[in-house]
Structure 1
Amino acid sequence: MAAALEGLSGQWTQPLSLGQAAKAKPDPNATQRVPSARSYPRALRARELPIEAFNSIQETQKTLDNFEPILTAKYRVVTPFGNAIRREMSTSWRSEAQNATGFRHDVQTYLSGLTNKVRLVPKSNMTLSGRSATVPVTVQNNLVQSVELRLVLRSQQGNRLAVGDPQLVNVEGGHSQSVKFGTTANANGPVWVSAQLYTPDGQPYGDEMMFEVNVTEITSTVILVIAGGVLLLVLAGVRIYIQRKRAAARGGEDGGDGEDAEEAHGQDEDDSEAPETDRCDRAHTLVPEQPSDPEPDTGSQSAGPSGPGEKVDH
């Protein structure tokens, strides 16, 4: 309507300021009675665009106004969708209500699909160890042009987990960028954190993303206890290794003596089971007589006279 009035300027209308309009004399031939709504012809009312159509057009215009500030090549989106919105308001749809509804739906769906290509990558719950750490948040841009946004990270419990300031994000077309926020923990436990994109003019862009951050602080005492336990395990392993090594060395040194002892033990068992004559023969075999040995002295064995029938060799 503003464009139409501007086009009429200089031909059928003359623009005036509010002060000039107040001083102007009214036309005596102009009617001062506003007609009622019933006076509008029903045939014309049936051909007008319904209220739902203007609500849909307003929603599309709002989406375009929120999408335009983050674009670096605005003409590639604003010009074609601006023409589509003006066509939605064209009087040519008055006799084609169903086709007009379909056209408005298609325009809004296509524009919403483009806006959803710039989004926050869903983030799973994470754990922070220590009082200070960083929380990464990834922004994805699947458009063919770069975008500029502002990313804000908020802690639902700022007294337990404080996060860094908002950051400006410039993401090239078809790329993703990870933004790291510094955090300071004042207490252990889970804390919910929200991430939200904003346009450069401060309007929220897209849906807010929530995720949980679990803070676990490791104190110096806990570190000493863990280090002491690890040291004890290492010392125990070294001791077991040394004991096994010494046992193996002793077994190697006693190996030969053990075999000789087993052979001697086996011979003793055989001697105990063999007859007495075999023992004597074996003793003679083991200790043979030498030619130079003197004959055995039998005199020292018995001092008395020989009994009858006993033969003594001289």
Structure 2
Amino acid sequence: MTKASGSTLAVQRFLAQSLTLGLQTGKQRTAVVAPQRTPSASQAQTMAEALTALQDGTWSEAQNLTSAAKAQPDPAATTQVPSASAYPSSLRKQKLPRATFEQIGRTQSKLDRFQVVLSDPSRVVTPFGRALNRGMSVSWRGRPSEAAIYRSGVEAYLDTLTGQVRLIDKSETKLSGRSATIPVTVQNNLVQGVEHLMLRLTSTNPTRLEIDGDAYEEQPVTVSGGHSQSVKFTTSANANGRATVVAQLYTQDGERYGEPVTFDVKVTEITATVMLVIGGGVLLLVLAGFRMYTQRKRAAARRTEERDEETGEDAKNADAPQNPHAAEERLPEEPEAEPRADGPEQPSDPAPDTAPESADPSGTGESGPLRMSWPWARIDEVG
């Protein structure tokens, strides 16, 4: 097939054989066209030209391999399948191992999940599609180590891009009261935006903590390139304690996207009894403060009145005239007890403050005796 003449002859022969198969019987026949195991570039190009010319013809109709496998075989055809040992060992060594196709299939599944959340999937599907085709190329035959490095590099790079859209890790969250809101943040470090994502928040113990009245709640997520978005979920607590919550991203077809984020929620509900006790304590503090304020105010008013009275007495004493006999006109102090007038003197009675009167006449120079009335007496000086 390296020459144009040989390539043209091969195309003509292929078209003639396909036409002959259609004219052998009046019934529709099915034929599977399979290339050789290791075609060269010129052979593959010649086959492509032949298939293109066959599709443009009027005697054939193209279909996929699945439809061809459902067709009934020709009764005259050979139905015996050769054993595995009949396969040439030289060709077996050139085949790609099973692990290669498993890795390529896994990478293709990751690409399918990733492209559905992108706003412009063509920027990822086209280059990675070509890379997957190259990973299955026959050019890697005879170089298994280089082929494995290439396929692993393609899968690792796709994992890096997929991981740019993720959930932010959360620490333990504390809820005070019966209901509260829990925010969950989605981060997008890609250049383009992501959409068609669903964020599900699930409570592992719904009897203690409910998410929007159920075990879980889902909300759509749309994040622009290089930005983050917080999604808020309404929760209601039925009992105090710790509950575990799991946040997970999903695609619209229900496939998991990325790794889940698990965190604990500690519920500390304030009951009505606790609120009553707290309110009573606050009321007692207010009453105690009001009483202290009233007592201090009364004491200050009392001290002010005493100072005013003392100031008034001092001013009155300063204005009054001096009396030389003021010392003599002061009344004596009240005795501790009054003696009985109509009975004998008791041992417990106090002694009189003055001596008994004398019957002798007064001395020279005195004009009269000093009279005193009991218990209160006013001293009168005669002369």
TM-score (norm 2): 0.58
In structure 2, give the amino acid aligned to 1:118: V
2:100 to 42, 49, 53: 53
**Unaligned stretches of 5+ residues in structure 1:** 258-298, 301-314
Name the residue aligned to 1:305.
Answer: none
In structure 2, give the amino acid aligned to 1:204: R
Name the residue aligned to 1:11.
Answer: 54
Name the residue aligned to 2:278.
Answer: 226
Q: Max radius of gyration: which structure?
A: 2
Matched, 1:206 2:229: no
1:168 to 220, 231, 248: 220
Matched, 1:84 2:131: yes
Larger RCO (alpha carbons 8 Å, 6+ apart): 1
In structure 2, give the amino acid aligned to 1:83: R
Offset of 1:233 from its aligned partner? 3.4
1:232-259 C-alpha deviation (Å, 9 max, x unpaired)? 33554566677778889969x99xx9xx
Separation in 2, partners of 1:99, 1:241: 90
Change in 2 beyond 3 A, CA 1:19/1:110: closer
Change in 2 beyond 3 A, CA 1:115/1:9: same
Matched, 1:190 2:242: yes
Change in 2 beyond 3 A, CA 1:184/1:40: same
What RMSD over aligned residues (CA atoms) do the two structures have, in Å? Answer: 3.2
Offset of 1:228 from its aligned partner? 2.4
* 1:73-222 correspondence runs (5 A): 73-148=120-195, 149-164=197-212, 165-222=217-274
1:21 to 55, 67, 71: 71
Kept in 2: contact 1:117–1:142 (CA 8 A): yes
In structure 2, give the amino acid aligned to 1:186: N
In structure 2, give the amino acid aligned to 1:156: T
Pick the structure with more helix per residue.
1
**Unaligned stretches of 5+ residues in structure 2:** 1-33, 36-47, 311-363, 366-383
Kept in 2: contact 1:69–1:201 (CA 8 A): no
What secondary structure sits across from 1:70 in the alignment?
A: coil
TM-score (norm 1): 0.70
Offset of 1:171 from its aligned partner? 0.7
In structure 1, give the amino acid aligned to 2:257: Y
Separation in 1, partners of 2:229, 2:69: 55
Corresponding pairs, count: 251
Separation in 1, partners of 2:126, 2:206: 44
Name the residue aligned to 1:312.
Answer: none
Separation in 2, partners of 1:66, 1:9: 33
Change in 2 beyond 3 A, CA 1:9/1:203: farther
Bigger shift: residues 74-83 or 30-39: 30-39
